[in-house]
Amino acid sequence: MAQANIIVIDDPLPRRLARLQDEYFVHMACAFQQHYGEEAGWIRFADYLRHGLTGIQRRLGLEKYTQLHRALEGALIRHRIQGDASAHLLWLEPLLSQYYDPMYRYQLAKKQDRILYRGTFEQVQAWLSEVQSTAHPR
């Protein structure tokens, strides 16, 4: 993988946030609850999110981590009581824009020569279909 070619999906932040909200906060919460039961599943889901944030605490710095952790705890309460998974966007958006996105840009900049294609999800999907059809004509 260290030498593999790269295809980059560049979707705008609002679209990525919507996808992550659905995948991580709606579906994942349901999956935890279906597997472990409603209460135990919720506790494990919340702990999973906390663990993920705690895992990058040193990289975030104490101040940023504290801000995001408070927002995460508030989002968990709102999600649990009101069923509002969008509350998580209050901590996810700054985590993506201020931490993950700069990190990915930095890493990709070092691998520019290996990027074969870059575009939105639909553009990448169309490009891959075209490449596949020319590589394996029917």
For the segment 78-96, what is each residue's pLDDT rounded down to a tens digit? 999 999 999 999 999 999 9
| Eight-class DSSP state of 32 | H
The percentage of residues in the chain with a pLDDT greater than 70, rounded to a whole number, is 99
| Phi and psi torsions of 89, nearest 5° | -65, -20
pLDDT confidence band for 125 (50 / 70 / 90)? very high
Q: Where are the beta strands (DSSP E) in 72-126?
A: 115-119
For tokens 């999600």, what's the residue? Answer: 79
Output the pLDDT for position 138.
62
Q: Number of C-alpha atoms within 13 angstroms, CB side, residue 41?
A: 15
- Amino acid letter, 28: M
- The answer to whether the predicted template modeling score (pTM) of the entire model surpasses 0.75 is yes
Q: Name the nearest CA neighbour of 25 among 46, 43, 8, 11.
A: 46
- Amino acid letter, 40: A
- 9 contacts 120 by C-beta, under 8 angstroms: yes
Give the residue extent of every domain in the chain.
Answer: 6-135
Tokens (6 digits) for 3: 């030498």
Output the pLDDT for position 1.
75
In whole angstroms, give the CA distance from residue 57 to residue 92. Answer: 14
